[in-house]
Amino acid sequence: MVFVASELTVPTAVKIVIAGGFGTGKTTMVASVSEIPPLRTEELLTEAGVHVDDLAGIEGKDTTTVALDFGRITINTKVVLYLFGTPGQNRFWFMWDELATGAIGAVVLVDTRRLDSSFPSIDFFEHRGIPFIVAVNCFDGSQNYTVDEVRHALDLDEAIPVVLCDARNRESSKAVLVGLIQHSMNRLAAV
Amino acid sequence: MSARDDWWYDEAAGPLVRPYAMVRGRTRPNAPDLHLVTQVRAAAFASDQTSLTVEHREIMALCARPLSVAEVAAYLDVPLVVVKVLLSDLIERGDVLVQTSSPKIPDRDLLQAVLDGVRGI
């Protein structure tokens, strides 16, 4: 027997995915805006990278874990927003699918020194039709490329917003989230 | 008790010994649709907790306020698959309430609320 909570007792949860290559500042951005220090949760998988959703027979397998860092913003008493950083290694695609399902959208963080590390993230969200924006993380405070140059280098559609940001900065990271939510609303309106 | 419950695990079983023991050999959550952000909350009037394990009671204490499955796993420091099994025990007992809808794309009103909320932090 399963007891179902009424809408009054549990809030609606929504999520935003913070994606990008290794070292692009995903957890930094989560930490900048989260109301709690970023939490870490782990999923088990076999050495072959197969998702473990069943512990039967697990004792005979070599396993490893994939860690997810996430933060939380309580929007109001009825809505809570979670921010999930994607696992650093792209082989954990099954986690990306769970993260992306029902998400408001994704921020793809880009480091202009390693543009190619963001290609897998961009491909993932493009192919699944999930709203995303590209945020160029300006680590050293200086920006060596213009938004147009980054857009061209990443071969991005004109409809995909590209913004500059500093993931360490709360206001800057907030502006990125606002940009993504507005982009998702525009996409919804266009349907 | 099945034979599996009586197995002895040596070091070769690695860090899985504890999670596996914690769920007493059970393998799948009975409660459907426990996702990362699914909200769970302790019921106002919980049943007799004497038969519950330490982990179950920790979950009950954590869920005095609504939390996501991912938060419960993080605070309890156990893998997601394990916390889902433990939570489903409590849901079956009626001790934990759950938001059952699976994640769906937010509508315009919800997006507007999130937008206002993020601007306000």
> Which residues of chain B make contact with A73, given a CB cutoff of 8 A?
117-118, 121
How far is A139 from chain B, CA to nearest CA, in Å? 23
User: A126-164 b/e with 16+ CB inside 10 Å = b?
Assistant: eeeebbbbbbbbbbeeeeebeeeebbeebebeeebbbbb
Cα three-residue angle A171-A175-A180, rounded to 5 degrees: 150
Average pLDDT, chain A: 85
For residue A5, give the nearest of B9, B41, B104 by CB distance. B41
Quickly state the pLDDT bin for A7 (edges 50, 70, 90): very low
Which of A76-90, A171-185, B47-61 tops mean pLDDT? A171-185
B79 and A3 within 8 Å at the Cβ level: the answer is no
Three-state DSSP class for residue A129: coil
Give tens-digit pLDDT for A88-110.
665 677 788 889 999 999 999 99
For residue A167, pLDDT beyond 60: yes
Stretch A177-187: mean pLDDT: 97
Whole-number Å distance between alpha carbons of A41 and A153: 34
What's the pLDDT tens digit per position in B83-118? 999 999 999 999 999 876 666 678 999 999 999 999
User: Rounded to the nearest 10 degrees, how much is the dihedral formed by the CA atoms of B98, B102, B105, B106?
Assistant: -10
The CA–CA distances, whole Å, from A92 to A61, A70, B57 equal 18, 16, 32
B-facing residues of A in 164-183 (CB < 8 A) are 174, 177-178, 181-182
ipTM higher than the 0.90 cut = no
Test mutation, B37, B84, B97, chain A, max A CBs within 10 A? B37
Q: How confident is the model at residue B25 (pLDDT cuts 50, 70, 90)?
A: low
At B7, list the tokens. 């197995």
Given a contact cutoff of 8 angstroms between Cβ atoms, the answer to whether A23 and A85 are in contact is no
- Which segment, A153-157, A177-181, A186-190, B9-13, is predicted with the most confidence on average? A177-181
Cβ <8 Å between B108 and A98: no
| More confidently predicted of A135 and A112 | A135
A174 interaction partners in chain B (CB closer than 8 Å): 118-119, 121
Assess A67–B contact: CB distance below 8 Å, yes or no. Answer: no
Domain locations in chain B as residue ranges: 3-120
Determine the Cα–Cα distance for residues A120 and B30; give it in Å rounded to an integer: 35
Q: Looking at per-residue confidence, does A101 or A59 come out higher?
A: A101
Token pair belonging to B58? 């920790």
Q: Which of the pair, A92 or A34, is modelled with greater confidence?
A: A34
- Which tokens in the block code for residue A175? 């502006």
What pLDDT is stored for residue B55 in this prediction? 92
Under the banding of pLDDT at 50, 70 and 90, the label for residue B31 is: low
The residue count of chain B comes to: 121
Min Cα separation A19/chain B (Å)? 17
Q: Is the Cβ–Cβ distance between B97 and B41 less than 8 Å?
A: yes
Domains, chain A, ordered by start: 17-190 (3.40.50.300)
